[in-house]
Structure 1
Amino acid sequence: MLDDGAADLFGGFWPFMRRFLFMFLPLWVFLIGYTAGLHIILASILAGSSISVVAIFEKYKLKQESEEGLDGNNLIK
């Protein structure tokens, strides 16, 4: 079985937090944009692009944790 390491982020809380963010972050961004006076189409585009922020953040944290784990394990320096 392959382990992607994402389940270990934030002490194992990341899978639940990720599902929550995928559901509610676009809604929040849309409502904030719409109440700020943005056109409904622009608010929708902004809300849709907010989903990629969650994926980019996950990739960044995984890369950061893998680099921290490899600092002491390098055989060739």
Structure 2
Amino acid sequence: MTTDPSRPPPAPFLRVVRGEPTPEETAALVAVLTARARAARAAGDEQAPGPPSGWRDRSRLLGLPPAPGPGAWRAAYRPR
């Protein structure tokens, strides 16, 4: 593998913050993370957001704009 000296080295995939894991422990962690990523990809669950919850959906607070016609002035004020 030839490295280009003008390119900076890539960022590390994992970084040990505390402790000194053995190479076997690091390999086990990488294997578990890889297996979870493959299982999620196979299931089609790529962190896709689901439909918004009714509790969090704020569109119901917006209401509909008043339509022109008889009683429009009353409908504009009266909550639904």
Is TM-score (shorter-chain normalized) higher than 0.5?
no
Higher relative contact order (CA 8 A, sep 6+): 1
Larger Rg: 2
Larger relative helix fraction: 1
TM-score by length of 2: 0.31
